[in-house]
Every structure is written in C-alpha cells, then in structure tokens.
Amino acid sequence: MAQTLLKVSGLKVAYGGIQAVKGIDFEVREGELVSLIGSNGAGKTTTMKAITGTLPYGGGDIEFLGKSIKGRGAWDLVGEGLVMVPEGRGVFTRMTITENLQIGAYIRKDTAEIAKDMDRVFLTFPRLKERATQLAGTMSGGEQQMLAMGRALMARPKVLLLDEPSMGLSPIMVDKIFEVVKQVYDQGVTVLLVEQNASRALGLADRGYVMESGLITMSGDAKVMLSDPKVRAAYLGE
C-alpha cells in the first residue's frame, strides 16, 4: 500500500468565532488524486488553509510526511513539498509570466534543475511559453490559473493542493484546466483537489470525500461515488 503523505485527524478550525470545520478525518496517499467536494461554505477552503499553515487549527492534527505541521509556517511547508494553488489564483500581476514561475522556485538552489522544470512547465502549458514576457495581470482568468499551477509545480510539490481551480472560468477553460490536472497527476504528482464541480472532480479522482457543514459525510472510491444516487442528487442536480 502506498505511503500516506498527508493525514488529517479530528481537525477542528474556528473562523471568526464560527466552528467552520468540526472534527474531520481524511488522508492522501502517494500517487493518488483525492477530491474533496462540497457546496459553497462547507468548510473546504478553511481546511486547505489549515493544511498549508495559513490558518491555525484548534483541535485534532494534520500530519505531513509523518510529522505534525501544527504551528509551522507556510513557507516552511512549501520547502518540504506541501504546495497550494489558492482559490482566486494569486498571481503577481505586475510581474511577467517567467518571473512568476521563478518565484515558485525561490526556495530552491539547484539552478540546472530549475531550468529543466521551467522547460517542463512550458511544455505542459504552451500558452505560457508563447507569452513568457507578458505581465500576468494582462492574462485571462484561465491563463492565470495555468500560471498559478505552473508556479506551484516549480516548487516540486510532493503534494499539490488545488483549491477550486475551475471557479469563474468559461466551460472551454474548465475543460483545459481539468486536462492539465490530469496531465500533472499522470506525471506522478500527488494531488488533493477541492472543487465545487463534483462530476469533473470525481471523474478524475481515485478517491473522494464529501464535506457538508464542516463535516465529512461520505467517502470512498471516486467512480463509485459518482454513480451514488445521493451524490448525484446533491451535487449533480439529478
């Protein structure tokens, strides 16, 4: 059985006096694509922020590579390979595409390998290569999403966390982003995908978890969940 890279146990997170996450358990094993689905306000993004060290958690624990991350800084976790593409992308709008990608590798010192990774990102995202000198702020939402993913890959993630990558994109761009997620996963990157588009997320994933009102209410094989009448009724409008 593959090694567990990320383990969340009894996690509780309060946000502005509200208990947003109420004691959840899940894990991500090496080589998996795991999807966390749920409607808006279910607690998915809060969970992601706790995992990346950008939001302190009150109860339970999160382990990455077998060690608790409690109290550790986000920069420290990125250095160990826990890397997130945040909701809303967060690209540096006044920097070029190339500069944004270089920032993804800021903690690395292996110059030759960084150059190889830059080539690999440009191969995965040809559109970024065409516009390497363009300012990130002048790109479309979908292109910025590709850039945010490329930047995260430059950090050589052991686990790549994607928070709502399809949000606000046109249907054509949503197709493209999910193609890229599959491509990244096929390259051997372990992925935790948080997504409101349940059918696309479960269609791609190995395993899935459903989150509702701060609790995980269902989990299992993603393809089995995709055909579950309860999931279909709640998330696929059937």
Q: Taking the chain (238 residues) in consecutive chunks of 10 residues, what is each chunk's mean pLDDT?
A: 93 90 97 93 92 92 96 89 85 94 90 93 92 94 91 94 90 90 92 92 95 94 92 75
| Residue 157 resides in a domain | yes
Nearest partner of 6 among 39, 38, 40, 31, judged by Cα = 31
pLDDT in tens, 105-116: 988 889 999 999
pLDDT in tens, 132-175: 999 999 998 889 989 999 999 999 999 999 999 988 888 998 99
Contact yes or no for 175/203 (Cβ under 8 A): no
For residue 99 the two structure tokens come to 């500069």
| Residue 175 resides in a domain | yes
| Residue 129 resides in a domain | yes
| Residue 106 resides in a domain | yes
pLDDT of residue 238: 59
| Residue 63 resides in a domain | no
pLDDT of residue 193: 97
pLDDT of residue 60: 96
Q: The pTM is what? A: 0.92
Domain total of the chain: 1
| Residue 149 resides in a domain | yes
Domain limits at 103?
30-52+73-235
The secondary element (H helix, E strand) that includes residue 23 is: strand 18-29
What CATH number is given to the structural domain containing 119? Answer: 3.40.50.300
| Residue 172 resides in a domain | yes
| Residue 1 resides in a domain | no
Question: Residue 70: CB partners within 8 Å, gap ≥ 6?
Answer: 57, 61, 62
Name the region of 129 (left: φ>0; alpha: ψ -120 to 50; beta: rest). alpha
Instruction: From residue 218, give the alpha-carbon distance in Å to each of 32, 47, 155, 237.
Output: 18, 16, 32, 18
pLDDT of residue 197: 87
Instruction: State the Cα–Cα distance between residues 150 and 162, nearest whole angstrom.
Output: 12
